[in-house]
Structure 1
Amino acid sequence: MKKVKIAIIGTGRIGKMHIENIANLREYFELVAIADSHNSELEKLAEKYQIPVFTKNYQDILNNKDIEAVLIASSTDTHAKIIIDAAKSGKDILCEKPIDTKIERIKEVLAAVKENDVILQIGFNRRFDHNFHKIHEYVAAGSLGDPQIIKISSRDPEPPSLDYVKVSGGLFSDMMIHDFDMARYLSHSEVTEVFANGAVLVDPNIGNVGDIDTAIVTLKFANGALGVIDNSRQAVYGYDQRAGVFGSKGQAFSQNDHLSSVELDDAAGGHLDKIPTFFIERYTQAYVDELKSFHTAITEHTEPAVTGFDGLQAVKIAQACLKSLKTHQPVVIK
């Protein structure tokens, strides 16, 4: 198997997770460099994982002709520029979502990717979750007949910091954007119309900085199906991730993964183990499979499993939801 020489730009929480995963995928990748302009312990991180090159300037990575691919895990506001720069340097790219929060800027990014003939995969890791992928396969095989209702629940165990909320772009762009992509993935169709309701039910401070923490969105799809997504910033019982498709021949619905499948029965009733409380814990294998898929796209010169177009569509839906929330009207997506 060909090893791909890869570098990571951004070594925060997500970046460190990717470093760990790539270190365990030595037959797929050789991690040769990391870059982060803000991490004061970059040298220690490089030493821990035996990464030969570390730098505060990501351009050093792009100027290194031996590096074939980059994984961008830096802050959202840097994604577009780094993707364009990486494309111009001929690197294949895996970038965390979103590409950008502006539609026109995303189109500029996709144009640069196309012009330089490089791979761009977007980090919608939930597509690689074993539960959701199985539903996707059932729909593709026709096992459920014509999809009629798509339902997605996605609830975080606790709200993020207010500093994060201020720069995240809002619940639709930061949190529910994963579910917009999942809705397209499970339905095998495009979203044509949304209607959004939102409220501040968890933390008044989130409302004070102009965001919401609870939302329900209804969707219409090009194939005629209807959908509903609900989000909350706080589920006290853990990281709640469920989805299902109801069709003309049946339904497929995924429950939450639990820390174990053991059920305890006693005088008080039946008890299941807790569900995960952290997204990295919940999607551990999905993140690994995402990297394997990226490797396949590079080495077999195929289209990535999650394309730049997928990234664009999710942002279009997010912006339509924000408009719907403000106007209290359905919004058609063009």
Structure 2
Amino acid sequence: MTVNNTVLGEIEKVKQLLAYGKFEQKTDALLDAFEYGEAGLDLIIQALHNSEVDVQEAAYWLLQENTEPRVKLALQAYNPYLFFKYLFTIERYTDEVRKIACVDISQELQTLVTCNYKNIIQVWNMQTQQVICTFQPEATKEFDQIAIAPNNHVLGLWNCNDYAEVWDLKTKEKIFTTHRRSDWFWYIAFSPDGQSFLNAVDGEICELWDIQIGEIISYISMFDLGHNFIYSNSQVLVSEEQGFDQNYEIWDWQTQQVICTLSLSGYMPVITVSRDQRFLLSGSRDNGTIKVWNIRTGHELCSLTSHSSSITGLAISSDGQRLFVWSGDSTVEVWGI
């Protein structure tokens, strides 16, 4: 009975420090809470909603290694972008690559793929910032879109005005070139299984291509729905409602059902979606603001301010711990926790 009363007294002390203590006292109290079993763990989970963001961040990191289901649920419902800070800027990778035309991040490997305006494709190890491999397509026109298949074996290169090429990243050999020419290749993406890719023709009709046979196997018409297709990754599609309301619908890739609707301000916002499909990030081409949205509810969660006045590309690392902000010139900002 005496032990229980002691524990209860210590838990009450932790509660008081978390509510009224200074930052250092609050973080020390979170560490102490680990000693008090389930009740202490509850206090750490509750600290994810403390009035001080720094205390929330301390609780977030303390819970990272815990495997209990209720902890995982608490972390899944939390927004880590609250803690994202500017880390550094990559001015350029080599003297030859003065401008980065495309940025994408592989889903499992910490690699960055870039394409300069000479059409030289380079795959970089993000830890060492060294080139893993380099290859150059035969195309004479510049590629301005890159996508990596979920299995990390296939690379897609799309020329915005003409055609697409699909390459094997391991062998550096071309798998095929789309035989159908388009007036405008819009946003493109691989399917969740990596066996096909989606292309929006003129922003209205989505073509689904089979990679193995190099043929179109089905179509999705956005025109009939009054929407223009503007973004996709291997999980979701994003379409813009025709008109002046700037409403965007998020679609599930496989079910083709609308998940939520967002109202995004600014001209043609740059969009990316986290790997776990929980967050949509929209970057402004006008003022460098990055907004974070809950993809299930459509609510704005927080915003980040880039050093760039115009954002032209966003990419998220596979573990969700890094955000890459491309300003359209030779610089890529790196954000993270």
Question: Shorter-chain TM-score: what band?
Answer: under 0.3
Q: If the length of structure 2 is used for normalisation, what is the TM-score?
A: 0.27
Which has the larger helix fraction? 1
**Structure with the greater alpha carbon radius of gyration:** 2
Q: If the length of structure 1 is used for normalisation, what is the TM-score?
A: 0.27
